[in-house]
Structure 1
């Protein structure tokens, strides 16, 4: 794929100039495309690390003799820590750039995975999972923001591919767990599952260190126009020169810190923040309560044989791969908000049916319902909460916005992961699933009430409202 051809040079004076230049592209040139997927690889690691514990949860529980409360605490630790590090990493990325926090996340991910894999007690596993939470919280908000800044407005639906990558990562970890099982590794199977994420984190660290270029939109928003021009050339092949720095609009704060969080809850950002937060909160709650426990659900459906349950989980996650791949198409056709609403409506019906009929459904339906749950979750709200956040803010507050949204959304993960085992222990699996159907119902209502949609309102990668009609490409200087 050839780099974009521009006759002569053009001048950039602010982040909006950078965004306008990137928005001309109808497709990403070869190098930019490779870098885009390299950033996306960090989200693969986040998903893989989260799935690693779930895939080996049953043998780990037996080996370490864990109580239900300890299991709930371990599974909730990573997202709980991410609650703190989502906004912290967003603030850090707003101050020092996108690349450094991404690299730091990979190093912490290596340490967390190795500590967990070699753990001999509940306390050590917990410490390792806490480090994984730091890496997860640091990486996710920054990566989504950077992807948004790398992506032309006409290709913004690509951001939803993170959901497809999430399920590919989960399925990959399940496949590794199955291979370890067939090799007769025994109860140590969870150590291999968790430890393999250290290898992925290390490889990503090296690749991102060697090849990633800083976001030109962030550089321009900080007044570093010469660096932004160089980054545009490295990523896209654009031949641009720095101009005289444009003054920020009156009253607009460009030095962003925690004291500026209030801007996310004022016009025009309030409805954007509320919608992305509620979608992130409810989708993570329903996923981490149900989808993350698919190995447990598979055991209940297919019997207590580990191999059959793992294969069943892999098939369930295949629905997520397909749904995640289709989420970009669904978002383009219906908008991110309405595709979320449709997904929530279907998930509500499916959870209610699975919960009320659990144990009494024919095997075909008992399999089809969770399969469809994963499909509609990944095609709708599963992808959209984080994508809406990444597309809703200008470059200087984008990581702060995605960080705060991620923090609030992580509460859903904690609730789902910690409360689910406890409710399941007292009520049973079926009634617990039925009770959780109220979560997608709430998400549906929010999507109907709040009308904001970045794919329908015309928002460029720097967060400014633009005309949805394509503007003519200006002649080069």
Structure 2
């Protein structure tokens, strides 16, 4: 009879999971359920976008009210990304995900049945809280569920995002055919609540707590139990073996410890993931503002044709999101981000130089190039690099901080870039925006860290003597650079 592997701490859990070649069985179910939250986040954001026009007409919204509604969710994500990371560090990965679904259900229903702007806005506040908490925690959980050989699969969240936005557009077309009139926005927002409710039940029934997090808290018996439930790995807890006791429980990490992410070997990792996340958030709004123009020009000004046009562009995002896993595996997350930023920069420059002058086929192909390069590279990689760069005790905090930075990009895009467009015109706005991917590309080339190109797991690195989660050092040595 084969000897059962012993688990003394987080490193043993990580080694057992990394020994697998792929995600199979119960692990695949839990993996996709965690991804389901990311689908919901994208769907809830797209639900507002799809119904914003009819909502504006029905409620007679001002431009300021529209801006507030559009920016509420990403603004709340700035605050609740790190809060979600803190919760996941303190109470586990699964409870915050379930709480986020409760907020999502409440927010969707409140907005769908509202009769005035204030109530809709309160509903979007709840959705923003859910979005901020869920995204930070889900990426950390997915990273801890995934064997190192399959780490590129984390990039599939980008394809999931575009699938969600496309799915919402398909439903919007369906609601339109049902002749619901200007109430179409209520059906769109309400459908997000239905998806959130279904996910809440499924995640409550099937999600299993991260074995790595349990081990980091010294709960080795619970950790091996989760390991068995998810992967079928029959391990045994060995807290008394050798010096295991001193490595079993990691010190508690809270928001006040966020400075750890900017010290030692974590500094370049945090800079890289933050710049990629910020850059992709900023640059996306160039196409975000240009897509309606393209759709209306090519596909016509009716609701159906404009919606179908948006679906075409989102389909390109799905292709790019699926390709991001392959690109990350072949080139690494860092270089695939650099190439993606480079392609986006070229697309923006050409869009700026040819806007209003190029044939329709060129005007169509340039945004396609933008979306493809964006979704196959930096669009996915910022969050994936963050999820893979930190040890278990600070992983959720790291993904939370990176998500917060990315949300800053969204808010800046929503408020600043429209003003630039009004002042300079759309063509010159594209040229100004080209600086963003250029800086992103240069950062990716300057910072050499890539979690997919190292043999060691962050959990194998020894903690710093002054606290957890400072890799590349030992009690007798200064932090590695």
- What's the secondary structure of 1:282's corresponding residue? helix
- The equivalent position to 1:9 in structure 2, one of 4, 21, 33, is 4
In structure 2, distance between residues paired with 1:258 and 1:400 = 8
Per the TM alignment, residue 127 of structure 1 is displaced from its structure 2 partner at its CA by 1.4
Q: 1:230 to 1:454 in 2, by over 3 A?
A: same
User: For structure 1, which segment, 78-87 or 294-303, has the greater mean C-alpha deviation from structure 2 after superposition?
Assistant: 294-303
TM normalised by structure 2 equals: 0.91
- 1:299 aligns with 296
Gaps of 5+ in 2: 463-481
**Per-residue deviation, residues 125-168 of structure 1 (Å, max 9, x unmatched):** 22111111100000001000000000111110010010110010
Per the TM alignment, residue 34 of structure 1 is displaced from its structure 2 partner at its CA by 1.2
- 1:188 aligns with 183
- 1:177 aligns with 172
Q: 1:295 to 1:176 in 2, by over 3 A?
A: farther
Superposed, 1:190-339 pairs within 5 Å as 190-244=185-239, 246-248=244-246, 254-291=251-288, 294-295=291-292, 297-339=294-336
Per the TM alignment, residue 25 of structure 1 is displaced from its structure 2 partner at its CA by 0.4
**Per-residue deviation, residues 167-215 of structure 1 (Å, max 9, x unmatched):** 1001000111112222222222222111110000000000000011100
- The equivalent position to 2:153 in structure 1, one of 154, 158, 162, is 158
Per the TM alignment, residue 72 of structure 1 is displaced from its structure 2 partner at its CA by 1.9
Per the TM alignment, residue 461 of structure 1 is displaced from its structure 2 partner at its CA by 6.4
- 2:136 aligns with 141
- 2:474 aligns with none
User: For structure 1, which segment, 301-310 or 325-334, has the greater mean C-alpha deviation from structure 2 after superposition?
Assistant: 301-310
In structure 1, distance between residues paired with 2:297 and 2:107 = 31
In structure 2, distance between residues paired with 1:461 and 1:168 = 32
- The equivalent position to 1:108 in structure 2, one of 98, 103, 108, is 103
- 1:167 aligns with 162
In structure 2, distance between residues paired with 1:62 and 1:463 = 57
- 1:119 aligns with 114
1:382 equivalenced with 2:379 (yes/no): yes
- What's the secondary structure of 1:209's corresponding residue? helix
Residue pair 2:217, 2:250 contacting (<8 A) in 1 also:
no
**Per-residue deviation, residues 431-450 of structure 1 (Å, max 9, x unmatched):** 33333222212211211121
1:432 equivalenced with 2:445 (yes/no): no
In structure 2, distance between residues paired with 1:459 and 1:118 = 51
Q: 1:198 to 1:364 in 2, by over 3 A?
A: same
In structure 1, distance between residues paired with 2:291 and 2:96 = 32
- The equivalent position to 2:94 in structure 1, one of 78, 90, 99, is 99
- 1:449 aligns with 446
**Per-residue deviation, residues 410-459 of structure 1 (Å, max 9, x unmatched):** 10011112233444445444433333222212211211121111111334
Q: 1:164 to 1:95 in 2, by over 3 A?
A: same
User: For structure 1, which segment, 66-75 or 152-161, has the greater mean C-alpha deviation from structure 2 after superposition?
Assistant: 66-75
Superposed, 1:60-75 pairs within 5 Å as 60-75=55-70
- 1:414 aligns with 411
Poorly superposed stretches of 4+, deviation over 4 Å: 247-250, 425-428
- What's the secondary structure of 1:47's corresponding residue? helix
Q: 1:304 to 1:248 in 2, by over 3 A?
A: farther
In structure 1, distance between residues paired with 2:383 and 2:460 = 15
Per the TM alignment, residue 364 of structure 1 is displaced from its structure 2 partner at its CA by 0.9
Residue pair 1:295, 1:310 contacting (<8 A) in 2 also:
no
Per the TM alignment, residue 270 of structure 1 is displaced from its structure 2 partner at its CA by 0.4
In structure 2, distance between residues paired with 1:299 and 1:261 = 45
User: For structure 1, which segment, 221-230 or 282-291, has the greater mean C-alpha deviation from structure 2 after superposition?
Assistant: 282-291
Gaps of 5+ in 1: 1-5, 466-477
**Per-residue deviation, residues 250-295 of structure 1 (Å, max 9, x unmatched):** 9x96211122111100011000000000100110122245337634
1:361 equivalenced with 2:358 (yes/no): yes
Residue pair 1:51, 1:292 contacting (<8 A) in 2 also:
no
TM normalised by structure 1 equals: 0.92
